[in-house]
Chain A
Amino acid sequence: MLKENELNIGDTHTSTLVEDLKRTQIVQYAGASGDYNPLHTDEVFTTQIAGYPSVFAHGMLSMGLTGTMLTNYVGDGALKKYGVRFTNQVWPGDTLKSTTTITAIRDQDGERVIDLEIVTTNQNDVAVVTGNATAKIES
Protein backbone atom coordinates (compact mmCIF):
# COMPACT_ATOMS: atom_id res chain seq x y z
CA MET A 1 0.00 0.00 0.00
CA LEU A 2 1.19 3.53 -0.75
CA LYS A 3 2.35 5.69 2.16
CA GLU A 4 0.88 9.15 2.57
CA ASN A 5 4.17 10.85 3.46
CA GLU A 6 5.60 9.73 0.11
CA LEU A 7 2.68 11.04 -1.96
CA ASN A 8 1.83 14.39 -3.51
CA ILE A 9 -1.09 15.59 -5.59
CA GLY A 10 0.08 15.47 -9.20
CA ASP A 11 2.28 12.38 -8.75
CA THR A 12 2.06 10.07 -11.75
CA HIS A 13 2.77 6.43 -12.47
CA THR A 14 3.10 5.10 -16.02
CA SER A 15 3.48 1.63 -17.41
CA THR A 16 3.26 -0.19 -20.74
CA LEU A 17 0.31 -2.59 -20.62
CA VAL A 18 0.85 -4.56 -23.79
CA GLU A 19 3.02 -4.34 -26.90
CA ASP A 20 1.66 -5.53 -30.24
CA LEU A 21 -1.56 -7.00 -28.79
CA LYS A 22 -2.07 -10.50 -30.12
CA ARG A 23 -5.37 -12.00 -31.19
CA THR A 24 -4.54 -14.93 -28.94
CA GLN A 25 -4.52 -12.69 -25.87
CA ILE A 26 -8.03 -11.56 -26.82
CA VAL A 27 -8.98 -15.24 -27.08
CA GLN A 28 -7.45 -15.80 -23.62
CA TYR A 29 -9.60 -13.01 -22.21
CA ALA A 30 -12.70 -14.40 -23.91
CA GLY A 31 -12.07 -17.79 -22.33
CA ALA A 32 -11.36 -16.46 -18.85
CA SER A 33 -14.16 -13.89 -18.74
CA GLY A 34 -16.72 -16.03 -20.53
CA ASP A 35 -17.55 -13.27 -23.05
CA TYR A 36 -17.35 -15.16 -26.34
CA ASN A 37 -18.86 -12.41 -28.49
CA PRO A 38 -17.48 -13.31 -31.95
CA LEU A 39 -16.65 -9.62 -32.54
CA HIS A 40 -13.57 -10.26 -30.41
CA THR A 41 -12.33 -13.60 -31.71
CA ASP A 42 -14.02 -14.49 -35.00
CA GLU A 43 -12.39 -12.57 -37.86
CA VAL A 44 -14.75 -14.07 -40.48
CA PHE A 45 -17.89 -12.99 -38.64
CA THR A 46 -16.47 -9.61 -37.63
CA THR A 47 -15.31 -8.57 -41.11
CA GLN A 48 -17.98 -10.21 -43.30
CA ILE A 49 -21.10 -9.85 -41.16
CA ALA A 50 -20.47 -7.09 -38.62
CA GLY A 51 -18.48 -4.89 -41.03
CA TYR A 52 -15.47 -4.08 -38.87
CA PRO A 53 -11.92 -4.10 -40.28
CA SER A 54 -10.89 -6.86 -37.86
CA VAL A 55 -11.71 -8.36 -34.50
CA PHE A 56 -11.10 -5.98 -31.58
CA ALA A 57 -10.45 -6.32 -27.88
CA HIS A 58 -13.23 -6.50 -25.31
CA GLY A 59 -13.57 -3.15 -23.54
CA MET A 60 -13.16 -5.17 -20.38
CA LEU A 61 -9.77 -6.42 -21.59
CA SER A 62 -8.61 -2.80 -21.89
CA MET A 63 -10.02 -2.15 -18.42
CA GLY A 64 -8.37 -5.29 -17.06
CA LEU A 65 -4.97 -4.40 -18.53
CA THR A 66 -5.33 -0.89 -17.13
CA GLY A 67 -6.28 -2.44 -13.78
CA THR A 68 -2.97 -4.31 -13.74
CA MET A 69 -1.12 -0.98 -13.92
CA LEU A 70 -3.37 0.39 -11.18
CA THR A 71 -2.99 -2.45 -8.67
CA ASN A 72 0.76 -2.58 -9.32
CA TYR A 73 0.81 1.07 -8.22
CA VAL A 74 -1.66 1.20 -5.29
CA GLY A 75 -1.07 -2.34 -3.99
CA ASP A 76 -3.24 -5.41 -3.54
CA GLY A 77 -6.70 -5.02 -2.05
CA ALA A 78 -6.34 -1.22 -1.82
CA LEU A 79 -8.91 -0.17 -4.43
CA LYS A 80 -12.20 1.31 -3.21
CA LYS A 81 -13.46 2.33 -6.62
CA TYR A 82 -12.40 1.88 -10.23
CA GLY A 83 -14.36 3.14 -13.20
CA VAL A 84 -13.65 3.81 -16.86
CA ARG A 85 -15.08 5.00 -20.15
CA PHE A 86 -14.13 3.16 -23.31
CA THR A 87 -13.24 6.01 -25.64
CA ASN A 88 -11.80 4.10 -28.59
CA GLN A 89 -11.53 0.53 -29.72
CA VAL A 90 -8.38 -1.52 -29.18
CA TRP A 91 -7.21 -3.59 -32.15
CA PRO A 92 -4.78 -6.48 -32.57
CA GLY A 93 -1.31 -4.99 -32.99
CA ASP A 94 -1.96 -2.08 -30.63
CA THR A 95 0.58 -1.07 -28.00
CA LEU A 96 -1.01 0.41 -24.89
CA LYS A 97 0.47 2.64 -22.24
CA SER A 98 -1.35 3.80 -19.14
CA THR A 99 -0.76 6.70 -16.77
CA THR A 100 -2.42 7.45 -13.48
CA THR A 101 -2.23 10.77 -11.63
CA ILE A 102 -3.08 11.58 -8.01
CA THR A 103 -5.79 14.25 -7.96
CA ALA A 104 -6.66 14.26 -4.24
CA ILE A 105 -5.48 12.93 -0.88
CA ARG A 106 -8.36 12.86 1.59
CA ASP A 107 -10.43 11.08 4.26
CA GLN A 108 -13.21 8.67 3.40
CA ASP A 109 -15.16 6.71 6.01
CA GLY A 110 -12.34 7.00 8.54
CA GLU A 111 -9.61 5.91 6.10
CA ARG A 112 -7.03 7.89 4.17
CA VAL A 113 -7.51 7.56 0.42
CA ILE A 114 -6.21 8.98 -2.84
CA ASP A 115 -8.25 9.82 -5.90
CA LEU A 116 -6.64 8.95 -9.22
CA GLU A 117 -7.23 9.92 -12.82
CA ILE A 118 -6.36 7.28 -15.39
CA VAL A 119 -5.71 7.42 -19.11
CA THR A 120 -4.65 4.56 -21.35
CA THR A 121 -3.43 5.46 -24.82
CA ASN A 122 -2.46 3.51 -27.93
CA GLN A 123 0.64 3.85 -30.12
CA ASN A 124 -0.95 6.87 -31.87
CA ASP A 125 -1.44 8.66 -28.52
CA VAL A 126 -5.20 8.21 -28.82
CA ALA A 127 -6.95 7.58 -25.51
CA VAL A 128 -8.68 4.19 -25.47
CA VAL A 129 -9.67 4.18 -21.79
CA THR A 130 -10.14 7.11 -19.44
CA GLY A 131 -11.20 6.74 -15.86
CA ASN A 132 -10.94 7.31 -12.16
CA ALA A 133 -10.11 5.32 -9.09
CA THR A 134 -9.99 5.69 -5.33
CA ALA A 135 -7.52 3.69 -3.25
CA LYS A 136 -6.66 3.28 0.42
CA ILE A 137 -3.26 4.52 1.55
CA GLU A 138 -1.29 4.21 4.79
CA SER A 139 -1.35 7.40 6.83
Chain B
Amino acid sequence: MAVDKFLIEASHIMMFARSVGDSNPIYHDEEYAKNTELGGIIPPPTFVQSSAQFDPEYFLRPKVGGDGWFGSGKEATGSKPSAGSGGGGGAAMGLHAEQHFEYHLPVRAGDILSATTKPGKTWEKESKRAGKLKFSESVTEYRNQNGELVITATGVGVQTERVVDS
Protein backbone atom coordinates (compact mmCIF):
# COMPACT_ATOMS: atom_id res chain seq x y z
CA MET B 1 0.00 0.00 0.00
CA ALA B 2 1.19 3.47 -0.79
CA VAL B 3 -0.95 6.44 0.16
CA ASP B 4 0.18 9.90 -0.87
CA LYS B 5 -2.42 11.91 1.00
CA PHE B 6 -4.26 10.56 4.02
CA LEU B 7 -6.32 13.53 5.21
CA ILE B 8 -7.00 13.29 8.94
CA GLU B 9 -10.51 14.73 9.06
CA ALA B 10 -12.73 15.34 12.07
CA SER B 11 -15.87 13.85 10.49
CA HIS B 12 -14.01 10.67 9.52
CA ILE B 13 -12.65 10.43 13.07
CA MET B 14 -16.18 10.84 14.46
CA MET B 15 -17.52 8.02 12.29
CA PHE B 16 -14.59 5.76 13.09
CA ALA B 17 -14.91 6.36 16.85
CA ARG B 18 -18.64 5.55 16.69
CA SER B 19 -17.92 2.30 14.91
CA VAL B 20 -15.60 1.15 17.72
CA GLY B 21 -18.12 2.12 20.38
CA ASP B 22 -16.19 5.18 21.59
CA SER B 23 -18.16 8.25 22.69
CA ASN B 24 -15.12 10.13 24.05
CA PRO B 25 -15.60 13.83 23.13
CA ILE B 26 -11.90 14.12 22.17
CA TYR B 27 -12.97 12.34 18.94
CA HIS B 28 -15.93 14.54 17.98
CA ASP B 29 -16.27 17.72 20.06
CA GLU B 30 -13.98 20.45 18.81
CA GLU B 31 -14.72 22.86 21.68
CA TYR B 32 -13.96 20.19 24.26
CA ALA B 33 -10.84 19.04 22.45
CA LYS B 34 -9.47 22.59 22.10
CA ASN B 35 -9.46 22.98 25.86
CA THR B 36 -7.47 19.81 26.52
CA GLU B 37 -3.68 19.50 26.59
CA LEU B 38 -3.88 17.90 23.13
CA GLY B 39 -5.33 21.12 21.71
CA GLY B 40 -7.71 19.54 19.22
CA ILE B 41 -9.51 16.46 17.97
CA ILE B 42 -7.26 13.41 17.77
CA PRO B 43 -7.92 10.03 16.15
CA PRO B 44 -8.43 6.81 18.17
CA PRO B 45 -5.37 4.53 18.40
CA THR B 46 -6.35 2.21 15.53
CA PHE B 47 -7.61 4.96 13.21
CA VAL B 48 -4.74 4.86 10.71
CA GLN B 49 -6.05 1.52 9.52
CA SER B 50 -8.64 3.59 7.66
CA SER B 51 -5.91 4.96 5.38
CA ALA B 52 -7.28 2.21 3.10
CA GLN B 53 -9.91 4.81 2.17
CA PHE B 54 -7.15 6.87 0.55
CA ASP B 55 -5.43 3.99 -1.25
CA PRO B 56 -6.65 4.24 -4.86
CA GLU B 57 -5.81 0.56 -5.46
CA TYR B 58 -7.36 -0.86 -2.27
CA PHE B 59 -8.96 -4.11 -3.43
CA LEU B 60 -11.36 -4.56 -0.50
CA ARG B 61 -13.47 -1.66 -1.75
CA PRO B 62 -15.85 -2.11 -4.68
CA LYS B 63 -14.72 -0.03 -7.65
CA VAL B 64 -17.08 2.67 -8.88
CA GLY B 65 -19.63 0.75 -10.94
CA GLY B 66 -18.99 -2.41 -8.93
CA ASP B 67 -17.14 -4.28 -11.67
CA GLY B 68 -15.15 -7.27 -10.50
CA TRP B 69 -16.49 -7.16 -6.94
CA PHE B 70 -16.52 -10.61 -5.36
CA GLY B 71 -19.42 -10.17 -2.91
CA SER B 72 -23.02 -11.14 -3.62
CA GLY B 73 -25.52 -9.46 -5.92
CA LYS B 74 -28.01 -11.59 -7.80
CA GLU B 75 -25.57 -14.45 -7.37
CA ALA B 76 -23.40 -15.27 -4.38
CA THR B 77 -20.34 -14.85 -6.71
CA GLY B 78 -16.99 -15.59 -5.14
CA SER B 79 -13.89 -14.75 -7.10
CA LYS B 80 -11.38 -14.62 -4.27
CA PRO B 81 -9.31 -11.48 -3.82
CA SER B 82 -5.70 -11.85 -4.86
CA ALA B 83 -3.15 -12.01 -2.07
CA GLY B 84 -0.44 -9.50 -1.51
CA SER B 85 -2.06 -6.17 -2.23
CA GLY B 86 -3.36 -3.79 0.38
CA GLY B 87 -1.75 -2.94 3.66
CA GLY B 88 -2.04 -3.43 7.34
CA GLY B 89 -3.58 -6.89 7.22
CA GLY B 90 -7.17 -7.93 6.67
CA ALA B 91 -7.94 -10.29 3.87
CA ALA B 92 -5.05 -8.86 1.86
CA MET B 93 -3.03 -11.57 3.52
CA GLY B 94 -5.74 -14.10 4.30
CA LEU B 95 -6.86 -13.59 7.87
CA HIS B 96 -5.50 -10.88 10.09
CA ALA B 97 -3.37 -12.54 12.78
CA GLU B 98 -1.70 -9.63 14.57
CA GLN B 99 -1.56 -5.86 14.49
CA HIS B 100 0.90 -3.58 16.25
CA PHE B 101 1.09 0.20 16.41
CA GLU B 102 3.92 2.39 17.67
CA TYR B 103 3.03 6.00 18.32
CA HIS B 104 6.00 8.31 17.77
CA LEU B 105 4.38 11.76 17.57
CA PRO B 106 0.83 13.09 18.06
CA VAL B 107 -1.63 13.12 15.14
CA ARG B 108 -4.49 15.64 15.05
CA ALA B 109 -7.44 16.43 12.82
CA GLY B 110 -6.08 18.63 10.05
CA ASP B 111 -2.86 16.68 9.61
CA ILE B 112 -2.05 15.19 6.24
CA LEU B 113 -0.27 11.85 6.45
CA SER B 114 1.37 9.71 3.83
CA ALA B 115 2.00 5.99 4.14
CA THR B 116 4.43 3.52 2.66
CA THR B 117 4.34 -0.22 3.24
CA LYS B 118 7.17 -2.73 3.06
CA PRO B 119 6.98 -6.49 3.46
CA GLY B 120 8.47 -7.81 6.73
CA LYS B 121 9.23 -11.30 7.99
CA THR B 122 7.47 -14.49 6.84
CA TRP B 123 7.15 -17.80 8.71
CA GLU B 124 5.12 -21.03 8.83
CA LYS B 125 3.41 -23.04 11.55
CA GLU B 126 1.25 -26.19 11.75
CA SER B 127 -2.16 -25.86 13.37
CA LYS B 128 -4.70 -28.59 14.22
CA ARG B 129 -7.59 -26.25 13.55
CA ALA B 130 -6.55 -24.76 10.21
CA GLY B 131 -3.73 -26.89 8.75
CA LYS B 132 -0.54 -25.23 7.55
CA LEU B 133 -0.38 -21.54 8.47
CA LYS B 134 1.70 -19.13 6.42
CA PHE B 135 2.37 -15.86 8.23
CA SER B 136 3.59 -12.68 6.57
CA GLU B 137 4.31 -9.29 8.04
CA SER B 138 3.85 -5.86 6.47
CA VAL B 139 5.23 -2.68 7.97
CA THR B 140 3.56 0.65 7.21
CA GLU B 141 5.18 3.95 8.10
CA TYR B 142 2.94 6.98 8.45
CA ARG B 143 4.53 10.40 8.10
CA ASN B 144 2.94 13.80 8.66
CA GLN B 145 3.00 16.93 6.47
CA ASN B 146 6.42 17.82 7.96
CA GLY B 147 7.89 14.48 6.94
CA GLU B 148 8.04 13.28 10.54
CA LEU B 149 7.38 9.60 11.31
CA VAL B 150 4.23 9.60 13.46
CA ILE B 151 3.06 5.97 13.55
CA THR B 152 4.55 2.64 12.58
CA ALA B 153 1.97 -0.07 11.95
CA THR B 154 2.94 -3.72 11.64
CA GLY B 155 0.30 -6.13 10.38
CA VAL B 156 0.65 -9.90 10.35
CA GLY B 157 -1.53 -11.84 7.98
CA VAL B 158 -2.04 -15.59 7.86
CA GLN B 159 -3.07 -17.83 4.99
CA THR B 160 -4.78 -20.95 6.33
CA GLU B 161 -5.15 -24.31 4.61
CA ARG B 162 -8.73 -24.75 5.87
CA VAL B 163 -11.56 -22.41 6.87
CA VAL B 164 -11.27 -21.48 10.54
CA ASP B 165 -14.63 -21.88 12.22
CA SER B 166 -14.21 -21.31 15.93
Residues of A within 8 A of B (CB): 17-18, 25, 28-29, 31-39, 41-42, 44-45, 48-53, 58-61, 63-65, 67-68, 70-72, 76-77, 79-86, 88-89, 126
Contact = CB atoms under 8 A, between A and B. Distances in A.
Interface stretch (B96-104, B116-124, B140-148): B96-104
A77 B18 CA distance: 18
A82 B78 contact: no
A45 B77 contact: yes
Interface residues of B, number: 51
Interface of B: 12, 15-16, 18-22, 24, 26, 36-38, 42, 44-46, 49-50, 52-53, 58, 60-62, 70-72, 76-78, 81, 88-91, 95-103, 106, 154, 163-166
A60 B58 CA distance: 16
B52 A68 contact: no
Given A42-B72, A76-B36, A63 B91 contact: no
A69 to B, nearest CB: 9
A89 B99 contact: no
Contacts of A58: 90, 96
